[in-house]
Homo-oligomer: A and B are copies of this chain.
């Protein structure tokens, strides 16, 4: 992919945000930064980054898709604040072992899993605004 102002801007915006963020939110954030990028283009870059495994993808209950640049390349899960989106990455080898064991017991192959933990972070618990 070519280096473009828009691509760089999307990557930079992602790097600045710790929380899981939607495409629309990033679009607005870029506009506010004076780095306006078309919404379509934001979606496109997010898709490419997701395909490459450079961002993690999460789907909110209401259907909006959230993206986040994670710090580790290892398989991990997320502890996500349901108010502000702030996220802690967690690893749990015992979880992987458990899911593999359960799936094998049922005769399932080609196994993958999704696990996300939702809660209220300390900041949001202190300031429920």
Contact = CB atoms under 8 A, between A and B. Distances in A.
Contacts of A28: none
B116 A102 contact: no
Contact of A111 (B88, B102, B110, B119): B119
Interface residues of A, number: 32
Q: How many copies does the complex hold?
A: 2
Interface stretch (A11-19, A66-74, A90-98): A90-98
A54 B79 CA distance: 27
A49 to B, nearest CB: 17
Contacts of A4: none
Given A63-B63, A95-B95, A115-B115, A110 B120 contact: yes
Interface of A: 59, 61, 63, 79, 81, 88, 90, 92, 94-95, 98-99, 102-103, 106-122, 125
23 contacts: A59-B61, A59-B63, A63-B63, A88-B106, A88-B108, A90-B106, A92-B102, A94-B94, A103-B117, A106-B121, A108-B122, A109-B119, A109-B125, A110-B119, A111-B117, A111-B119, A112-B117, A112-B118, A112-B119, A113-B115, A113-B117, A114-B115, A114-B118
